[in-house]
Amino acid sequence: MVSKEQIYNWLEEVSDPEIPVLSVIDLGVIRDAKNIDGEWLITITPTYSGCPAMKTMEEDILSKLKTKGIDTARVELVLAPAWSTDWLSENGRVKLREYGIAPPEHEVDKSVLFAAPTIVPCPKCHSKNTRMVSQFGSTACKAMYQCNDCQEPYDYFKCLK
Amino acid sequence: MKNEALFRYLLRLGDDSLILGQRLAEWCGHGPILEEDIAMTNISLDLIGQAMSLLDYAGVIEGKERNCDKLGLLRYEKEYVNVLLVEQPNGDFGDTIMRQFLFDAFRKPLYEKLVNSSDKQLAAIAEKSLKETRYHLKHSSEWVIRLGDGTEESHERVQNSLDTLWRFADELFYTDEVEAQLTGEGILPDLSEIKTEWESTVKHVFSEATLEIPANNWKFEGGRKGRHSEHFGHLLSELQYMQRAYPNMEW
């Protein structure tokens, strides 16, 4: 019989459709894998309420398991406890930076009303002399920044807690 | 039905999110600058995501196998119970931002309370949505200040937005036997402090923005009872088009 660890190892091969450098394990959206009377139940949690990638992840998980010979599996979406960027793996943070996306800083931007936004080091030259260009970005989980030193424009994977 | 009051309450929250999300989506490709085009459509996506969670759960409580698509896209006008504020047309960017600010300033303290609901699924939706809503409020309040305390023209225009939209704000605090019953059952925490917190947020932001709350205290309501403004039918015709033209289509 296939173990839970084996299922998790296979899921390392399923990537986030929006940020293909991350696996669903790196992203921290896989909450559990249980075998119930021969059927595998994979529990996942959304990063953002309206994240359109969740449906694709669900399909990708099922088709990956199928290629490994697991035909009876289903994916269930749960909201609680709510996903936070703390669940992003260390490995995932390194991969994000190498890919050119600044990983989430450990502190959520609690500032209200014009307070300086979080300092996010440039993923290319590591300078801290950067500025936020836009609070929102190309996907729900990102904001846009630019480096004042090397001029690199980059995505910031927003801290969410 | 398991709990009719809970079903009706979930429709109220879900419809507010869905209709405001639809309004914001109309900005796609029309934003005044690229960053704001992206911001408004991102907020739209969060709101539609929240609407899906709320309406899916409403469908579970109702027990008639209606999911968020059936409830969101296949009801008639009078069956929608969103407040009138969220269906108001986008107008200019200042109108959209003012509408958003009045709404976000209400939603944040509401979700903070709902996190403590004795109903586990409602509490989970609130916990998830609260994180998104805090970010929305930061965005909308900063823009209200930037426009209000900006140039003479931006000040005048966003003051006009406030004068026009203020009459719709009070309906956010509408309650009737639905809320009363749910509070009695412990599903809704005490909601009375939300208005106090909302008032303190709007007063603070309007004072920073040098905007005046209109003296005219005339209030509009009706959305919670299914009585909508003339704009609503047009909005629904666009929202529901695909399901009406191609019933039960999926992709």
What is the tens place of the pLDDT at every residue in B124-175?
A: 999 999 999 999 999 999 999 999 999 999 999 999 999 999 999 999 999 9
Strands A130-134 and A142-147: antiparallel
On average, the pLDDT of chain B sits at: 95
- Phi first, then psi: give them for residue A99, nearest 5 degrees: -80, -15
Residue-wise pLDDT tens digits, B16-47: 999 999 999 999 999 999 999 999 999 999 99
Residue B51 inside a domain? The answer is yes
Contact at 8 Å (CB) between B48 and B29?
no
Does some domain include residue B250?
no
Q: What is the mean pLDDT of residues B6-22?
A: 98
CA dihedral B91, B96, B97, B103 (to 10 degrees): 140
| Mean pLDDT lowest among B2-16, B133-147, B180-194 | B180-194
How far off is chain B from A2, nearest CA to CA, in Å? Answer: 32
Neighbouring C-beta atoms of residue B95, cutoff 10 Å: 19
Q: How much is the pLDDT for A111?
A: 53
Q: DSSP for A103-143?
A: PPPSS-----TTPPPPP---TTT--S-EEEEESS-SSTTEE
Q: How many domains does chain B have?
A: 1
The percent of residues above 70 in pLDDT, for chain A, comes to 94
Evaluate whether residue B106 is within a structural domain: yes
Among chain A residues, CA nearest to B37: A136
- Indicate whether B242 pLDDT > 70: yes
Find the chain B residues whose C-beta atoms sit closer than 8 A to any C-beta of A. 35, 38-39, 42-43, 45-50, 52-53, 120-121, 123-125, 127-129, 131-132, 135, 138-139, 141-142, 145, 205, 208
Structure letter (DSSP) for residue A23: B
Test B43 with A51 for CB contact under 8 angstroms: no
* CATH number of B164's domain: 1.20.1260.10
Residue of B45, B124, B131 lying closest to A80 (CB–CB):
B124
Mean pLDDT of B87-92: 98
* Residues of chain A contacting residue B53, judged by C-beta atoms under 8 Å apart: 49, 79
The pLDDT score that the predictor gives to residue A107 is: 66
Q: What is the ipTM of this complex?
A: 0.85
Cα distance from B156 to chain A (closest Cα, Å)?
Answer: 21
**How, if at all, do strands A142-147 and A101-102 pair?**
unpaired
The verdict on a CB contact (< 8 Å) between A49 and B128 is yes
pLDDT of residue A113: 61
Structural domains in chain A, sorted by start: 4-83 (3.30.300.130), 101-157 (no CATH)
Written as one letter, the residue type at B206 is F
Q: Do B47 and A50 touch (CB under 8 A)?
A: yes
Q: State mean pLDDT over B112-122.
A: 95
* Residue B186 structure tokens: 């412990």
Say yes or no to pLDDT of B48 above 90. yes
Q: What are phi and psi of A15, to 5 degrees?
A: -100, 160
- The whole domain housing B194 covers 4-214+221-245
Q: Show the low-confidence residues of chain A (pLDDT under 50).
A: none
Which residue out of A29, A78, A79 would a mutagenesis test of the B interface target, given it has the greatest number of B Cβ atoms within 10 Å? Answer: A79
Q: How many CB atoms lie within 10 A of CB B51?
A: 26
Inter-axis angle of helices B34-62 and B4-25, to 10 degrees?
Answer: 160
Specify if B251 maps to a domain. Answer: no
- CA gap B79, B8 in Å, rounded: 10
Would B47 be classed as within a structural domain? yes
Rounded Cα–Cα distance for residues B154 and B182 (Å): 43
